[in-house]
Structure 1
Amino acid sequence: MNNFGRNLALWVIIIVLLLLLFNVFQPGGSQHASQQLAYSDFVSDVDHGSVRSVVIQNQNISGTLKDGTSFETYAPFDPGLVSHLTAKDVEVTAKPLDPDGSPLLRYVLNYLPILMMFGVGFLIFRQMQSGSGRAMGFGKSRARLLTEKQGRVTFEDVAGIDEAKGELQEIVEFLKDPQKFTRLGGKIPKGALLVGPPGTGKTLLARAIAGEANVPFFTISGSDFVEMFVGVGASRVRDMFEQGKKSAPCIIFIDEIDAVGRHRGAGLGGGNDEREQTLNQMLVEMDGFESNEGVILIAATNRPDVLDPALLRPGRFDRQVVVPNPDVSGRERILRVHMRKVPLASDVDPKVIARGTPGFSGADLANLVNEAALLAARLGKRTVAMLEFENAKDKVLMGAERRSLVMSDDEKRMTAYHEGGHALCAILTPLCDPVHKATIIPRGRALGLVMSLPEGDRYSKSKAKCLAELILAMGGRAAEEIIFGADNVCTGASADIKAATDQARRMITEWGMSEKLGMIAYGDNGQEVFLGHSVTQNKNVSEQTAREIDAEIKALIDNAYRTAHALLLSHIDDLHRLANALLEYETLSGDEIRRVLRGEKIERIVVDDLAPDSRRASVPATPPRPSGGAGTGDFGPAPAPG
């Protein structure tokens, strides 16, 4: 019998015993049981003077004999019965007939409050015996044990982060064969902290460790420890490690540990008592007087800068494993993993897609494959072709096409020259990334976009590269002023101006690329800080220095604008050809743009997109990077997606 059956039987027995006791000590419960008398015997007892008292309820008669015996009888219609009883000195009491004549109903009504009371007690007892999340389970850990029913994950399912897997391979070997290390004096690591941008596969990597080692894997979020009651989180930490010790060797994975592991004493009012008590208990459990042998704690965060230093020291988190965005070879392997369940056409090349997606994380690549499969299914195709991957990449980065947006001819012409200015500046400036695509079809929040293709993964930028990107940003506004005049420029360059200003400010205040201001890091002059209960402005620079920073920013942007203006004026015929081609075709690939500038004719194969077997010669899939747009287009190096 399980625990629930035993508890239920115990409570049934307790309720029955209490009902019997209640019945015994009820008024009249200690008297003798009433006997049934025939009416003739009752009349005979009355004639002999043996009856002391009677209670008459309609034709039901109950009473007591002089020897104390209780009796009950049923009288026929006898008008002279009361006179006969009074003549024999019998005490007569008359009562009306109860409306609820059923004895069972009387018992139910009498004992219903007691039954309800014990029912409520039984529910409370069940909640006390159940796990966390119930009325009395505040201090229980919310860690969930993942089994093979949820799907076993191994290192074969994790690609693109070979260095991180190599760091964690030792933990797997420790769990498989601890004697291999302990006989040389080695100790099993207490914990490993996975650090990296969102979507890089930190959670998947932790599950792969458990799958490779074939040990229990408990997972919990950092926010599951924090409650409104002080001490609840610390109790959950203790219970979590108790569960781990019962299942040792095992792995406990805490996702988003920064929710509970923030630096103590930080924030308004000196910190949070509940969160700090939870963190203190975690520190003690990881490296206190009581050892938790065989329990390995793995945590993940994308904000290691806010974690408490005591949490990061050796002995608690012995390993800090960086899980970065994958490089081109890593992206190819990740794509191959996600393409296993997708029927691919013969023209799909993961290497080309990987070269065209710099900065993509593993989650971004999984989303890319899924979007391509959805696009192919929407068109009724049986396989996913390279064209679907190209369109899916555009949709992920720029948003869906808004062909329903009706633009006037003047707005289309303005947008075409704006995007043509961006594309022409990118081609004429040697350090700009090659142009991949230009479009005047509204996508997302932009009315048009120009995308650049980095020739490879880039991890740093030179000052000359930054200046070239400023020229690219100013190309759209410069083209508008040249063609339509200074008084007719539109708001399409707002995002370009904002992005250029941000990059110029970073060049001066963070990257030390100003000869006048030197290699000094100037912080944000408008940052708000809390002092007690008041808010003040953090003045990291003087007013004079702030004016010099603004002047340097303006000088950089003005020089970039003048350079872009001169480039476009000297190639005005190319600008007209490019804008007219955009008006005619709406979208041009990088090869088509260069063909237009050479004066060659563009040839396209017209196919029916709805035909499952239709094929179109596609441009090699490359990573569209917004470099300018009318309306709200972006420019410059796109941040890593996700």
Structure 2
Amino acid sequence: MNNLGRNLALWVSIILLLLLLVNMFQPGSTQHAAQQLAYSDFIADVDTGHVRSVVMQNHNISGTLTDGTAFETYAPLDPSLVTRMVGKGVEVVAKPQEQEGSPLLRYFLNSLPIILLVAAWLFMMRQMQGAGGRAMGFGKSRAKMLTEKHGRVTFDDVAGIDEAKGELQEIVDFLKDPQKFTRLGGKIPKGVLLVGPPGTGKTLLARAIAGEANVPFFTISGSDFVEMFVGVGASRVRDMFEQGKKAAPCIIFIDEIDAVGRHRGAGMGGGNDEREQTLNQMLVEMDGFESNEGVILIAATNRPDVLDPALLRPGRFDRQVVVPNPDVSGREKILRVHMRKVPLASDVDPRIIARGTPGFSGADLANLVNEAALSAARLGRRTVSMREFEDAKDKVLMGVERRSLIMSDDEKRRTAYHEAGHAITAVLVPESEPIHKATIVPRGRALGMVMRLPEDDRLSMSKKNAFAHLVVAMGGRVAEEVIYGKDNVCNGAMGDIKMATRVARSMVTEWGMSDKLGMIAYADDDQNGGFFAGASRNFSEETAREIDEEVRRLVDEAYVQARNYLHDHIDELRRLAEALLEYETLSGEEIRQIMRGQPIERKEEEESGPVNRRSSVPQVGGPDAQGSDKPENENGGPAPVPQPS
């Protein structure tokens, strides 16, 4: 928008100057059309009555004859001239004499139009040179060389992806000592494709390779190749490889290569499609008649399924390095890397934080550390303690605490019993993960939450584990029924019921955990059991009825088991609810102490509340009038299962 306004102002100025110059030098203008008369002729015309009007200024006289002709003349000092003209009926206008200004100023004013014209011409030529340079450089590569001022990154700055670093260490060794491989006839891979979800460190890993090898590192985005005009992208690819050859050995990193490397034949332009031409040129440069020795191409994408097969064959991208979300050990290492610049309190344990953040990527963990540091800064603390990390993790996973939410005493007590029911069933069911903490502090849309902390990342789930989730999910509703009666329950268990139904249906239709229906997959692969969302069924109505009955049976059995647990431990339920009403948040050890009938000993905390001593995994559910569905276990595995609160 600024360039448009600047160009418009430039052209308006040029047009005005041209009009001014045309007006100044136009032969037919009044200034140059005035007839020059000799003074004697002027006196004769006055005497004969041929002069209509005159304008006198100093010795200069201009005027109009009776036939409309304009004239100019120069009069000597003649005192009787005015009397003669008035006597002949000439209209006389006298003007004062102009002040004599500086000759330089007068010269500048007279030359101003020409100066403006020259300045406009020079500016226009400069713009044309810039446009010409851009036009000449339209097909130049936009790859930028990463220099030391951007900060050198090494493998020490990359953690949690040891397998990927091991794959790429060979490239570093080749760049440092090529003869080590070439003397045995080996060839280094021409291209490496980094594949993984967003935020796992693909770009950081590519920078670390360049930092370790200490070679030039060119970076460019896949979208920088594609322009409106066909052939521009291909020209930029050629120029990029030319730059790489001049700086060899070097690394060229293309981020989001799927922007230009998609399957050919899907474009609207047929064979003239710009994106396809760019991809064709890249294929030729990577493995064509000309060799690109010493130029290693590294690309990153989180959409490998859309890439053209010719791009992935050996000789081009020889290796595909998967950069996944880190496991618990990797998360601990990543946290330690990001905690280097943060002053930590003595109670911070990265291992516990890592256990409570399954499915977090490296970017998520960096954001977690940053949120903890900001929280400590807001409170005016000099170090970041485990308390800030707990608060930051809960904020990232579940949202900000809703301290301003006004709950009645009855709603708060109902929430306390609901969460106490989840907590007691989680402690009593042997196959459940260890309970970490329970809280009735509202976060996001949930009015309360119970969290369980798995010892390690769960990659698979047994039938007992899945059924334990159902029992814990039913604990909240059963606790309300035990205390208030069936007719006085509320809709707070909506999220628990949805989660339990989803788990039970997956047990029956996907995981083969039903003796009645056997090991048959009844769910489509598209959307978590697509036929339940309206997709076409691949089974009969009778089978659908059996599925519904089996799901109902599993949920009912879990409900009965949860009711038995809470009926047998009604005293513990009441004690735990009262403790939640008093402290709002209880750790897992405090919950177990209350269930054993032991008093809890809690040190005086600072003004912001109790410290949560251990990290946790968010669980789905809790009293939630709007049916909150928080993210489930995102660590992967054959069957990620949400866990109730």
1:247-396 residue pairs with structure 2 within 5 A? 247-265=247-265, 273-396=273-396
Structure 2 Cα separation of the partners of residues 197 and 442 of structure 1 = 31
Structure 1 Cα separation of the partners of residues 550 and 228 of structure 2 = 50
Give 2:578's aligned residue. Answer: 580
Task: Supply the RMSD in Å over aligned alpha carbons.
Answer: 4.0
Moved more, 406-415 or 147-156: 406-415
Amino acid at match of 2:596: R
1:622 lines up with 2:615 in the alignment: yes
Runs (5+) with no aligned partner, structure 2 = 1-17, 28-37, 40-54, 62-71, 82-96, 637-645
Give 1:50's aligned residue. Answer: none
Task: Please say if residues 437 and 616 of structure 2, whose CA atoms lie closer than 8 Å, have aligned partners that are also in contact.
Answer: no
Task: Please say if residues 353 and 614 of structure 2, whose CA atoms lie closer than 8 Å, have aligned partners that are also in contact.
Answer: yes
Offset of residue 103 of structure 1: 6.2
Structure 1 Cα separation of the partners of residues 503 and 269 of structure 2 = 36
**Residues 320-363 of structure 1 deviation map (CA, whole Å, 9 limit, x = unaligned):** 11222333333333222222222222333334434444443322
* CA pair 410-201 structure 1, distance change in 2 beyond 3 A: same
Give 2:524's aligned residue. Answer: 523
Task: Please say if residues 398 and 630 of structure 2, whose CA atoms lie closer than 8 Å, have aligned partners that are also in contact.
Answer: no
2:592 alignment partner, one of 574, 591, 594: 594
Structure 2 Cα separation of the partners of residues 573 and 270 of structure 1 = 75
Task: Please say if residues 358 and 634 of structure 2, whose CA atoms lie closer than 8 Å, have aligned partners that are also in contact.
Answer: no
Offset of residue 501 of structure 1: 3.2
* CA pair 136-426 structure 1, distance change in 2 beyond 3 A: farther
* CA pair 505-125 structure 1, distance change in 2 beyond 3 A: farther
- TM-score, with structure 1 as normaliser: 0.76
Amino acid at match of 1:539: S
Structure 1 Cα separation of the partners of residues 253 and 280 of structure 2 = 18
Amino acid at match of 1:577: R
Structure 1 Cα separation of the partners of residues 216 and 116 of structure 2 = 48
Moved more, 321-330 or 593-602: 321-330
Give 1:638's aligned residue. Answer: 633
* CA pair 192-509 structure 1, distance change in 2 beyond 3 A: farther
2:133 alignment partner, one of 119, 129, 138: 129
Offset of residue 428 of structure 1: 1.8
Q: SS state of the match for residue 289, structure 1?
A: coil
**Residues 555-612 of structure 1 deviation map (CA, whole Å, 9 limit, x = unaligned):** 43343333323333333332222222212221111011111111111221123347xx
* CA pair 104-447 structure 1, distance change in 2 beyond 3 A: same
Structure 1 Cα separation of the partners of residues 577 and 227 of structure 2 = 60
1:187 lines up with 2:187 in the alignment: yes
Give 1:69's aligned residue. Answer: none
Runs (5+) with no aligned partner, structure 1 = 1-18, 29-38, 41-55, 62-71, 82-96, 530-536
* CA pair 517-79 structure 1, distance change in 2 beyond 3 A: farther
Aligned length: 553
**Residues 467-517 of structure 1 deviation map (CA, whole Å, 9 limit, x = unaligned):** 211222222223223333334332322222333333334334443434416
Structure 1 Cα separation of the partners of residues 164 and 502 of structure 2 = 34
Structure 2 Cα separation of the partners of residues 280 and 509 of structure 1 = 45
1:128-277 residue pairs with structure 2 within 5 A? 128-130=132-134, 139-265=139-265, 273-277=273-277
Amino acid at match of 1:348: V
* CA pair 624-267 structure 1, distance change in 2 beyond 3 A: farther
Task: Please say if residues 476 and 628 of structure 1, whose CA atoms lie closer than 8 Å, have aligned partners that are also in contact.
Answer: no
Amino acid at match of 1:603: E
Offset of residue 172 of structure 1: 0.7
* CA pair 228-409 structure 1, distance change in 2 beyond 3 A: farther
Q: SS state of the match for residue 619, structure 2?
A: strand
Give 1:109's aligned residue. Answer: 113
Structure 2 Cα separation of the partners of residues 276 and 547 of structure 1 = 51
Structure 2 Cα separation of the partners of residues 185 and 210 of structure 1 = 24
Give 1:402's aligned residue. Answer: 402
Runs of 4 or more, structure 1, over 6 Å off, are 72-75, 267-272
* CA pair 629-275 structure 1, distance change in 2 beyond 3 A: farther
Amino acid at match of 1:178: P
Structure 1 Cα separation of the partners of residues 425 and 267 of structure 2 = 47
Give 1:557's aligned residue. Answer: 555
* CA pair 478-223 structure 1, distance change in 2 beyond 3 A: farther
* CA pair 437-102 structure 1, distance change in 2 beyond 3 A: same
Give 1:500's aligned residue. Answer: 500
Give 1:566's aligned residue. Answer: 564
* CA pair 462-434 structure 1, distance change in 2 beyond 3 A: same
Task: Please say if residues 192 and 297 of structure 2, whose CA atoms lie closer than 8 Å, have aligned partners that are also in contact.
Answer: yes
Amino acid at match of 1:575: L
Give 2:538's aligned residue. Answer: 541
* CA pair 504-635 structure 1, distance change in 2 beyond 3 A: farther
Offset of residue 442 of structure 1: 0.6
Q: SS state of the match for residue 209, structure 1?
A: helix
Amino acid at match of 2:519: G
Aligned-pair identity (%)? 69
* CA pair 454-269 structure 1, distance change in 2 beyond 3 A: farther
* CA pair 104-560 structure 1, distance change in 2 beyond 3 A: same
Offset of residue 218 of structure 1: 1.6
Offset of residue 208 of structure 1: 0.5
Amino acid at match of 1:444: G
* CA pair 564-152 structure 1, distance change in 2 beyond 3 A: same
Task: Please say if residues 326 and 362 of structure 2, whose CA atoms lie closer than 8 Å, have aligned partners that are also in contact.
Answer: yes
Give 2:606's aligned residue. Answer: 608
Amino acid at match of 1:573: D
Structure 2 Cα separation of the partners of residues 583 and 622 of structure 1 = 22
Give 1:7's aligned residue. Answer: none
Amino acid at match of 2:289: F
Moved more, 424-433 or 392-401: 392-401
Give 1:473's aligned residue. Answer: 473
